[in-house]
Amino acid sequence: MSTRVRIMVIISILFGALVLFPVVVVSPRWITVGCTVFYSIILASSWNFIMGYTGIFSFGHMASMLIGAYTTALLTMKAGVPPAVSFMAGGFAAAFANFLLGALCLRFRGFYLTLVTWAFAEMIIVVINNEYLVTGGSTGMLSRRIFWASSASYVPNYYLGLAIACAFLITLYCLTRSKVCIYLKAIRDDEAASEVMGVDTTKWKIFSFTFSGFWAGIGGGYYLNYIGLIDPTAGNLMELGIIMLMVIMGGIGTLAGPIVGAVFVVLATQLLFNFQSLSMIIFAVLMIVILRYFRGGIVGGMEKLIASIKKRPLL
């Protein structure tokens, strides 16, 4: 059996297990945890696309999530747009905001670009807090959901998250196997050399920002859909730090890394629920250990382990 066939078999088994999960586990709590995992995968993978593949350290990723969520809520509650339509509109609004940010600021490099993304994120949060008559300010904003809040709504929201996560990962897989990813990795490794070789670095950085912003906005709409409430704290630096933690622990610059990291962090958070004061300390220590000894994260460590086992003689 070839490696590709083995991978397809493993993916099929995992997908089947995810489909059957709400049937086997009927607890609303764990189905909601599943929704949180899907949301985290979307946010972590989209941030990994811009950082791991393009090499842009962005502090504005959670601002894109807020733009998507608030656009969805405003269109649904103020304009009477059906939730499913406003859901997609939130993704396009976040993509457009990132496109403008990229067009204006992506000629900056390194530390200066990071500062610009941080300023963008803070500006979005300040606007949301100050325009309380429209956004609800710090108290947040309620919204109608695609599936109404009831004991039976957990399962449809779970399958919606599964569908969105699968669609995103399939799209991401196709991109990482295309010439687009070659251009992005070239920019990540050496932007100056990429320009000398004829790569339009500004164009592809704008594309990276727009693409990741769209999916962050979709993730924000999904968060609003299964939580039913959005407020500015959902996009603060602490939340971004958790997303970064997922990517780094799983394996930055890999397709599977953010998925593994998201599952690990969300499940660990549930297990440490009674020790919330210590959870961030534990995660911080784990991040330091991984950055020091396992630069490739969990996925990179597993690849090295498998490679070392294959090299060992049978006797």
Distance CA 150, CA 3 (A): 44
| Burial class for 110, CB neighbours closer than 10 Å (0-12, 13-18, 19+) | exposed
**Position 167 in a domain:** yes
pLDDT tens-digit series, residues 15-62: 788 888 888 887 888 888 999 999 999 999 999 999 999 988 889 999
**Contacts by 8-17 with C-beta closer than 8 Å and gap 24+?**
15/166
* Predicted local distance difference test score (pLDDT) of residue 289: 82
Tokens representing residue 142 in the block:
């309620």
**Position 286 in a domain:** no
pLDDT tens-digit series, residues 254-307: 898 999 999 999 998 888 877 767 777 888 888 888 878 777 888 887 777 777
* Predicted local distance difference test score (pLDDT) of residue 48: 95
Distance CA 174, CA 176 (A): 6
**What percent of the chain shows pLDDT beyond 70?**
93
**Position 79 in a domain:** yes
* Predicted local distance difference test score (pLDDT) of residue 196: 87
pLDDT tens-digit series, residues 233-245: 888 888 898 999 9
5 versus 226: the higher-pLDDT residue is 226
**Position 313 in a domain:** no
**What percent of the chain shows pLDDT beyond 90?**
38
Band of residue 123 on the pLDDT scale cut at 50, 70, 90: very high
| Choice among 94-103, 125-134, 202-211, 299-308 with the minimum mean pLDDT | 299-308
Distance CA 38, CA 161 (A): 6
**Position 261 in a domain:** no
**Position 116 in a domain:** yes
- Parallel, antiparallel or unpaired: strands 141-142 and 229-230: antiparallel
Q: How many domains, in total, are found in the chain?
A: 1
Let me know: does 247 contact 51? Beta carbons within 8 Å.
yes
Q: Which structural domain range is residue 112 located in?
A: 29-236
Let me know: does 72 contact 86? Beta carbons within 8 Å.
yes
**Position 91 in a domain:** yes
* Predicted local distance difference test score (pLDDT) of residue 208: 93
